[in-house]
Structure formats: structure tokens, C-alpha cells
Amino acid sequence: MNGGHAVIRVPTPCKFVIYGVWKMEQRKRRRKKRGCLGCLGVVLQAVAVLVLTCVIVSVALPGVMELLPDLPRDLKKAVSESRVPFEELAVVEEDVTAGYYYQNLNDEERQIYKEILQGVQKREETIYVHTGDFELLKKVYHFLVFDRPELFWCTGGLEATYYPTYSELSVEYNCTEEERLIKQQQIDAEAEMALNLLLVQHSAERFDQVPEYERVKFVFEYLVNTVDYVEGAPDNQNIYSALVGKRTVCAGYARSAQYLLQKMGMECIYVTGTCANGEAHAWNLVKCEGNWYQMDVTFGDPEYMQTEEGEALESSEIDYGYLCCNDEQMLKERVADDLVPFPPCTSLDYNYYVMRGRYYAGYNAGRVLEDMKQDIYNGEKKFVCQFASGELCSQAFADMEANLFQEAAQTFMTVYGLQNVEYYYLEDQSTNTVKVYWNE
């Protein structure tokens, strides 16, 4: 550094390494053949059982057993199920109708959904359901768990013994009833604290007094700021890991976002699929002011970002490129599992960068420079913008690297009375964003 002269250090662009891969752990248990429901779906194996319905009749009625095969189908079903201890269904339509996956079931499947839900809510060891259809059973249990993030005690493991007209389910739970109650109290306390914080920030008494976008943005920021991505974290497939343990993987992030948003009266879908590297991943769709948007909280938490020299960027960094995106933006590097027809996400009205005025459909160097300077005047220590396409982003980045960053750095030094400034910059092609960070 030479005294009296402004020295600007321009390093090479930062590395941008993405983590956030979720691997489902296979748990073994000494039972019958079983399946496990993970972020990619249900792998359900069941034991085919040969049913022998024993009908006790009087010796005075010879030939009755021979007549049974010719009985009407409904009557034979009644005979075969006469001793099955089905529980009277208490779950009503209003309890389940908000579930997006539930909405994509037919009437028969919805009945099974309610029967399983009632059983797992009571932590029944054996749940009897009115179907002997293996594929239907697998699908419905899959949809139930994806709709209900509050069922944190269900691991996704399932054993099934199925008969022609009904099945006996044994659902795998991850804790005892006593432990479940304690965990529920902890979850309730953390969720209440978080949601009360939102109300305080907006001087509101009810959630409907807070704009929907602010609710979505709050949940996104809250989870990024309070939770760490940790492979192998306990309970990492459910909300307990994120809300209480504060360490999770993508499933925990996505289920917790769904849980909190649903508590605020918003529609949020848990989506599973694969990342660009082909590994399992989970994220969300959220409905905001009438339109659906893509959201990935896991990738909004860029603890993996660092410079080429290995220096970590500020720990409070949030990558808003994954908040309220459209399909084109989010599905560049993701493929959703083909489970149901998902609502299209085409709007950019509540895209974070659109809301901040830092989204560019074209490249105007003068405008971008003025926006960079304005953020500096406003006390920002970074500048982030998004472009409408990858090609436009690359073109803009090349010019910004050659010209704009250095000029903006001069403004930063003037505003803060500095003789030199070190800054880092990068182009993130996954979100079509350009980022520059100023270090005094």
C-alpha cells in the first residue's frame, strides 16, 4: 500500500460450491418385510399373505363352505372382514382437505389416507385399513407423510401384511409416546417463539395482518439464520431436527418451512426430487398472493460459500436466489419426482430481486452502476443482482468485472473515507446472479 494512494485489490472470482445433498438412511428392523419412506418416496415391501377365512358353521348345514365361492362379492368381503377390528373413523374431511397430496387422491384413497392418519396420530401398533391393494397403500402413505410435517414421530418405515380386502400396517416410530410428548412441547415452544417474532416485527396481532410475502421471507430467513446444514444430524428427516436441534439436512429444512407456513395459514407443498448431481433433494412450493412460487431453504443457507483463498464469507449471508422463484429458475438444476401434477410457478411478482429492484431483463451498465452506488450509500456491504437468463448474466458479469466493480469500489472508499478496499465477486450461474462483497 502506498500512502496517499487508493489501492484496489481485485482478486479472482470466488468459488461457489453447493452442498445440500440429503441422503436417506436405511434403518433395519427385525420385523417382516418392510419399506422406508424417504425424500424420494416410499419403497414399500410387503408380505403377500394367503388368506384362509375360517367360517364356523353347524354340522347341520352341510355344503355351506362349498357355497361360499358363489356368494356375492360384497358378502364375501363382509365375511372376510367380520373379525377385523377396524376402528371407527373420527378424522373428518375438514381435517385433511388442505393437504395438496390429499387433493390428488380419489375417494377410495382418501378413505385410506384418513384411516392411516388416525392410526399414526394415536401411535397405534397395528393400523387396519380397507384395502388389499399394495400399490394403493404405498401411494397413500407416501402422500400422507408429505402432507403432514407435524408427524415428526413417523420415520417413514412401514410394514404391511395385506389381504384381498384389507391390510394390517405397522408404522415405524422414532420415539416412545413419552418422548413424543416432550418433543412436541419443545417444537411448540420453538415455533411459537419464531412466529411471535414475526408478529412483533410487523406490529401485528394476527398472521393475516402480515403480508404473505413477508411471511414467506421471514420463514426463509429464520431457518437460514438459526439452522445449520449437518449431514448425519439426529432426526434430520423431520421438523424436530431443524426447529429444536438446529441441525438438519434438506428434508428438515423443507418440512420445517412447510410446518411454519401452514401454521400461518399459508399453502406450502413439500417436494422431493433430485439435484443437478442426481442426488436426492427436497424443497417447497409456496402460494403467495394467489400465485405459486418455488422455494429452496437448504440452498438459501450457503455455508459452503468461500473465496478461492479459502476465506469464508460472512456467516449471516443468505442466498435469496432461492426465494420465490419461478419454474424456469428453480428447475434448471432440479427434477421433481413425478408424483402429482404440481401447480405451475410462472410469476416473478414476488421474486426477491424483483421486489428489491435488482432484477434486470436487459443489461444497462449505467443503471447497474447507479444501483451499486445506491446500495453503498445505503450502508450495504455487498451488492447482489439477478438477470433474466444465464446468457445475459454472463455478458453482464464480464462487463461488470472489467469496468463497474472498480468504479463502485472508488465510491465505497469515498463514502467510508478509505485509502483501499478489498472486494470479492462471483457469478452464480445456478441463479443468474452476480454478487460483490466489500471488505474494509
Q: Encode pLDDT of 199-248 as tens digits.
A: 999 999 999 999 999 999 999 999 999 999 998 999 989 999 999 999 99
Calculate mean pLDDT across residues 269-295: 96
> pTM value?
0.81
The alpha-helical segments, DSSP class H, found in 63-209 are 64-67, 73-81, 93-96, 100-103, 107-121, 134-147, 177-201
Least confident of 19-33, 126-140, 193-207, 319-333: 19-33
Calculate mean pLDDT across residues 250-264: 97
Average pLDDT of the chain to the nearest whole number: 82
More confident residue, 66 or 422: 422
Residue 419 DSSP class: S
Other C-beta atoms lying within 10 Å of the C-beta of residue 410: 13
For residue 363, give the nearest of 330, 385, 335 by alpha carbon: 385
pLDDT of residue 95: 92
Of the pLDDT bands very low, low, confident and very high (cuts 50, 70, 90), residue 322 is very high
Q: Which residues are registered as beta bridge partners of 269?
A: 285
Calculate mean pLDDT across residues 365-384: 96
Calculate mean pLDDT across residues 10-27: 30
Euclidean distance between CA atoms 314 and 5, whole angstroms: 28
Euclidean distance between CA atoms 80 and 350, whole angstroms: 56
Euclidean distance between CA atoms 124 and 144, whole angstroms: 16
Name residues whose C-beta falls within 8 Å of residue 430's C-beta, 6 or more positions apart in sequence: 16, 18, 276, 321, 332, 333
Is pLDDT at 269 greater than 70 in this prediction?
Answer: yes
pLDDT of residue 88: 86
Euclidean distance between CA atoms 120 and 135, whole angstroms: 20
pLDDT in tens, 38-76: 443 433 333 333 333 333 222 233 333 333 344 444 444
Q: Are 55 and 310 in contact (CB under 8 A)?
A: no
pLDDT in tens, 144-179: 999 999 999 998 888 888 888 899 999 899 999 999
Selected from 3.30.200, 1.20.1070, 3.10.620, 2.60.40, the CATH number assigned to the domain covering 15-24+177-356 reads 3.10.620
